[in-house]
Amino acid sequence: MRTEGHDERPRPQVVTTAPENLRDEQRGRMQRYLITMSIRTASFVLAVLTEGWLRWTFVVLAVFLPYIAVVAANAVRPRPLGRVDKPGPAPGTHQIRP
């Protein structure tokens, strides 16, 4: 029995509120870590090959980039806030109510 002005059809799940796939999220974090550590390795090499203030700049990068890489790799993107609707009955079926 339906009441006036009330729609009993289940609302569909909105795709934009679905969280990112765990595998894709981990792959992105791993890529950021590898890029940062590659820059650190290049900084070590450039610190040996250069002189003066540039050498010390590369030394500072080589020292602090591991911390930045770990923090960035462990940073999980915030999940979207919202409500997840429970799936309703399949279209064309009827719910049995007590």
Per-residue pLDDT of the chain (98 residues; tens, 9 = 90+): 445 555 566 666 566 656 667 788 888 889 989 999 999 999 999 999 999 999 999 999 999 999 988 888 887 766 556 555 566 666 666 666 66
DSSP, collapsed to helix, strand or coil, labels residue 52 as coil
Distance of CA 52 to the CA centre of its chain: 40
In the numeric block, which tokens belong to residue 61?
Answer: 């990068």
pTM of the model: 0.58
14-40: burial string, b at 16+ Cβ within 10 Å, e else: eeeeeeeeeeeeeeebeeebeebbeeb
Site of tokens 């820059």: 39
